Structure 1
Amino acid sequence: MSSPPTATCLHATRDYSSCNGIDTLDTPPTYTEFLEKYLEPNLPVLIGPTLTSKWRARQQWVRSDTGKPDFDRLREQLCTESVQVPVADCQCKDFTDQKRSTMDLKEFLDEWETHSRTNSPSRTYLKDFHFVKTFPAYGAYETPDIFCDDWMNEFWTRRSDMDDDYRFVYCGGDGTFTPFHADVYRSYSWSANICGLKKWTLFPPNQEHLFQDQLHNTVYDIENVDPILFPNFHKAKRFTIFQQPGHTLFVPSGWWHQVHNIGDTISINHNWCNGSNLDLLLDSMTSDLKEVEREIDHLKEMMDSHEWIETCQKLLLLNSGWDWSTLWNMCIIVRDRVKKQLSGEDVSKAKTSVGTFVQDGVEHIVIGLKE
Structure 2
Amino acid sequence: MPLPHIHAPRDYSHITEIPYCAVPLSYDEFLEKYLEPNIPVLIGPALTELWRARQEWVTAEGKPDFDRLRSQLCTQPVQVPVADCHFKDFSDQKRSTMDLGDFLDEWQGQSETHQPARTYLKDFHFVRSFPDYGAYETPEIFRDDWMNEFWTRRGDMDDDYRFVYCGGDGTFTPFHADVYRSYSWSANICGVKKWTLFPPGQEHLFQDSLHNTVYDIDSTENAKKFPNFDKAIKFVLFQNPGETLFVPSGWWHQVQNIGDTISINHNWCNGSNLDLLLESITSDLKDVERAIDHLKEMMDEQEWIETCQNMLLLNSGWDWATLWQMCTTIRDRILVQRTCGDSVIPESPTAIASTDPRRAPLFPPPLLSQQPSLDVTLKRLDTVLDYIRSTPSASWFLTHVKGISVDK
The corresponding residue for 1:326 is 322
The structure 2 residue matched to 1:175, chosen from 160, 170, 178, is: 170
Retained in 1: the 8 A contact 2:328–2:350? no
Q: Distance in 2 between matches of 1:124 and 1:302?
A: 44
Q: Distance in 1 between matches of 2:188 and 2:81?
A: 19
Q: For residue 289 of structure 1, report the CA deviation from its aligned partner.
A: 0.8
Q: Which moved more, 1:73-82 or 1:303-312?
A: 303-312
Query: Which structure features the higher share of strand residues?
Result: 1
- Structure 2 counterpart of 1:256, one-letter code: W
Is residue 229 of structure 1 aligned with residue 267 of structure 2? Answer: no
The structure 1 residue matched to 2:252, chosen from 238, 251, 256, is: 256
The structure 2 residue matched to 1:131, chosen from 126, 131, 144, is: 126
TM-score where L is the length of structure 1: 0.92
Q: Deviations over 1:94-153 (max 9, x none)?
A: 111111000000000011111111222210000000000110000000100000000011
Is residue 347 of structure 1 aligned with residue 345 of structure 2? Answer: yes
Aligned partner of residue 158 in structure 1, secondary structure = coil
Q: Distance in 1 between matches of 2:252 and 2:148?
A: 22
The structure 1 residue matched to 2:153, chosen from 146, 149, 158, is: 158
RMSD (CA atoms): 2.2
**Corresponding pairs, count:** 361
Quick one: structure 1 residues 294 and 201, their matched pair in 2 at CA, closer, same or farther if it must change by over 3 Å? same
Retained in 2: the 8 A contact 1:8–1:283? no
Retained in 2: the 8 A contact 1:310–1:362? no
Aligned partner of residue 228 in structure 1, secondary structure = helix
Quick one: structure 1 residues 192 and 348, their matched pair in 2 at CA, closer, same or farther if it must change by over 3 Å? farther
Aligned partner of residue 110 in structure 1, secondary structure = helix
Retained in 2: the 8 A contact 1:46–1:247? yes
The corresponding residue for 1:335 is 331
Q: Which moved more, 1:301-310 or 1:110-119?
A: 301-310
The structure 1 residue matched to 2:401, chosen from 334, 338, 363, is: 363
The structure 2 residue matched to 1:191, chosen from 183, 186, 194, is: 186
Q: Which moved more, 1:93-102 or 1:8-17?
A: 8-17
The structure 1 residue matched to 2:289, chosen from 276, 290, 293, is: 293
Identity score, percent? 71
The corresponding residue for 1:108 is 103
The structure 1 residue matched to 2:114, chosen from 113, 119, 131, is: 119
Retained in 2: the 8 A contact 1:10–1:284? no
Q: Deviations over 1:268-313 (max 9, x none)?
A: 0000000000000110111111111222333334433322222211
Q: Where do 5+ consecutive residues of structure 1 fail to align?
A: none
The corresponding residue for 2:309 is 313
Retained in 2: the 8 A contact 1:11–1:206? no
Quick one: structure 1 residues 62 and 312, their matched pair in 2 at CA, closer, same or farther if it must change by over 3 Å? same
Q: Distance in 1 between matches of 2:30 and 2:403?
A: 35
Is residue 20 of structure 1 aligned with residue 16 of structure 2? Answer: yes
Q: Distance in 2 between matches of 1:148 and 1:56?
A: 19
Q: Distance in 2 between matches of 1:306 and 1:68?
A: 57
Aligned partner of residue 152 in structure 2, secondary structure = helix
Retained in 2: the 8 A contact 1:11–1:205? no
Aligned partner of residue 339 in structure 1, secondary structure = helix
- Structure 1 counterpart of 2:120, one-letter code: Y
- Structure 2 counterpart of 1:281, one-letter code: L
Q: Distance in 2 between matches of 1:171 and 1:9?
A: 40
Quick one: structure 1 residues 359 and 151, their matched pair in 2 at CA, closer, same or farther if it must change by over 3 Å? closer
- Structure 2 counterpart of 1:364, one-letter code: K
The corresponding residue for 1:83 is 78
- Structure 2 counterpart of 1:145, one-letter code: E
Q: Distance in 1 between matches of 2:303 and 2:73?
A: 48
Aligned partner of residue 225 in structure 2, secondary structure = coil
Aligned partner of residue 276 in structure 1, secondary structure = helix
Retained in 2: the 8 A contact 1:10–1:283? no
Q: Where do 5+ consecutive residues of structure 2 fail to align?
A: 354-395
Query: Which structure features the higher share of helix residues?
Result: 2
Aligned partner of residue 187 in structure 2, secondary structure = strand
4+ residue runs over 6 A deviation: 8-12, 358-361
Q: Distance in 2 between matches of 1:76 and 1:334?
A: 39
Q: For residue 217 of structure 1, report the CA deviation from its aligned partner.
A: 1.4
Aligned partner of residue 333 in structure 2, secondary structure = helix
TM-score where L is the length of structure 2: 0.84
Q: Which moved more, 1:243-252 or 1:341-350?
A: 341-350
- Structure 2 counterpart of 1:48, one-letter code: G
The structure 2 residue matched to 1:266, chosen from 262, 266, 273, is: 262
Q: Distance in 1 between matches of 2:86 and 2:348?
A: 43
The corresponding residue for 2:143 is 148
Q: Distance in 1 between matches of 2:69 and 2:14?
A: 44
